[in-house]
């Protein structure tokens, strides 16, 4: 089967591993830079050009769309769907998961635990204190809606610091969330990798000393963890509610049970494969194989 991987960099670990896993199973793997694809929208014949040639013999697509390319990348995925080509991550699910506010609203509506979160549109100075108090006061976490890999996430340890951070973001006209700080998590979170409704790997990420963000890109340390039944159910349900067949679900262990921080539609493979020794890339290829003849709707 000819499988296209949508990625901007063939040297990224996740991209390399998917290519290796696909070729190992006898598939022809092609790499398409989604930002260089040209979409031709025509009645009855949607098609895509890459490097001047029409893409017309691909049987399945694995999107690896970065956050900065969500708009155009999701349009490319949607075009493949219109061409009746199976996509491992659906375009609508990709867009839904990248909107942090929308995804939290969907999870909360589904009865899934999340940190208490406040969102306000340019609150006046006198209202900032109220926004912070609504999520339980300081310490609290202030997050940019567009942030990734821990960038744009700040722990404000007291009311004054929290107010200063919110005011600074407001002056930059940045959209942000204010969330309660889960102290008992101890600077750690859990990444659960879900493929086709099944958990294929999980790891605990512990922040380094002096840091509260546990992202591996920020020096966090990963180790294998055995999930509780509640954590397993929460991760699977979260991916399902957002419509993601491939997802990295980030959980916090709290006194009231697991809380979902975020659900990532293009989770990295390096950390989870390194921590668990599991061939996650192979699990993704197997999922694509099972769905080779699935025809997505327009």
Where is pLDDT greater, at 149 or 188? Answer: 188
Q: What is the mean pLDDT of residues 3-17?
A: 97
pTM: 0.89
- The CA-based dihedral angle spanning residues 288, 289, 290, 291, taken in that order and rounded to the nearest 10 degrees: 50
CATH of region 184-265, choose from 3.30.420.40, 3.40.1160.10, 1.20.950.20, 3.30.470.20 = 3.30.470.20
Q: What is the pLDDT of residue 296?
A: 47
Please answer whether residues 268 and 13 qualify as being in contact, where contact means their C-beta atoms are separated by less than 8 angstroms.
yes
Give the tens place of pLDDT for each residue, 197-206. 999 999 999 8
Q: What is the pLDDT of residue 172?
A: 79
Tally Cβ neighbours within 10 Å of residue 217. Answer: 13
CA-to-CA distance for 222 and 257, rounded, in angstroms? 21
Tally Cβ neighbours within 10 Å of residue 250. Answer: 21
51: alpha, beta or left? (left if phi > 0; alpha if psi -120 to 50): left
Would you place residue 109 in the very low, low, confident or very high pLDDT band (cuts 50, 70, 90)?
very high
Q: Is 117-181 a CATH 3.90.25.10 domain?
A: no
Structure tokens at 45: 């014949």
Q: Domain ranges in the chain? A: 2-89, 117-181, 184-265
Q: What angle do CA 81, 86, 91 make, to 5 degrees?
A: 45
Q: Which residues contact 288 (CB under 8 A, 6 or more apart)?
A: 1, 3, 60, 62, 86, 88
Write the burial class of residue 200 (CB in 10 Å: 0-12 exposed, 13-18 middle, 19+ buried): buried
Q: What is the mean pLDDT of residues 129-134?
A: 87
Please answer whether residues 19 and 47 qualify as being in contact, where contact means their C-beta atoms are separated by less than 8 angstroms.
no
Give the tens place of pLDDT for each residue, 237-266. 999 999 999 999 999 999 999 999 999 999
- The CATH code for residues 2-89 is 3.40.50.20
Residue 154 C-alpha from the chain's centroid: 19
Q: What is the pLDDT of residue 153?
A: 85
Which residue reads 């699935």 in tokens? 294
HSE-up of 140 (CA within 13 Å, CB side)?
29
Give the tens place of pLDDT for each residue, 43-70. 989 999 999 999 989 999 999 999 889 9
**What CA–CA distances, in Å, run from 78 to 61, 72, 296?**
11, 10, 10
């Amino acid at each position: 089967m000819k499988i296209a991987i949508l990625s901007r960099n063939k040297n990224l670990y996740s991209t390399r591993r998917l290519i290796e896993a696909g070729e190992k199973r006898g598939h022809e793997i092609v790499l398409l830079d989604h930002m260089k694809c040209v979409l031709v929208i025509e009645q009855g014949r949607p098609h895509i050009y890459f490097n001047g040639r029409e893409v017309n013999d691909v049987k399945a697509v694995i999107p690896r769309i970065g956050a900065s390319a969500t708009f155009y990348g999701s349009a490319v995925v949607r075009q493949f769907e219109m061409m009746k080509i199976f996509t491992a991550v659906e375009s609508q699910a990709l867009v839904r998961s990248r909107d942090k506010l929308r995804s939290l609203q969907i999870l909360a509506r589904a009865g899934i635990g999340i940190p208490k979160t406040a969102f306000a549109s340019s609150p006046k100075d006198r209202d900032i204190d109220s926004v912070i108090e609504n999520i339980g006061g300081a310490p609290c976490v202030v997050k940019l809606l567009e942030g990734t890999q821990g960038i744009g996430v700040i722990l404000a340890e007291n009311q004054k610091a929290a107010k200063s951070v919110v005011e600074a973001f407001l002056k930059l006209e940045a959209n942000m969330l204010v969330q309660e700080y889960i102290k008992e998590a101890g600077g750690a979170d859990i990444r659960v990798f879900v493929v086709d409704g099944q958990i294929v790997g999980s790891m605990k990420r512990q922040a380094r000393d002096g840091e509260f963000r546990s992202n591996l890109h920020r020096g966090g340390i990963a180790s294998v963890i055995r999930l509780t039944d509640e954590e397993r159910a929460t991760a699977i349900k979260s991916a399902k509610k957002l419509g993601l067949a491939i997802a990295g679900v980030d959980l916090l262990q709290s006194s009231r049970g697991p809380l979902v921080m975020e659900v990532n539609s293009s989770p990295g493979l390096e950390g989870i494969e390194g921590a668990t020794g599991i061939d996650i890339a192979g699990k993704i290829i197997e999922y694509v194989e099972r769905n080779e003849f699935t025809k997505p709707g327009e």
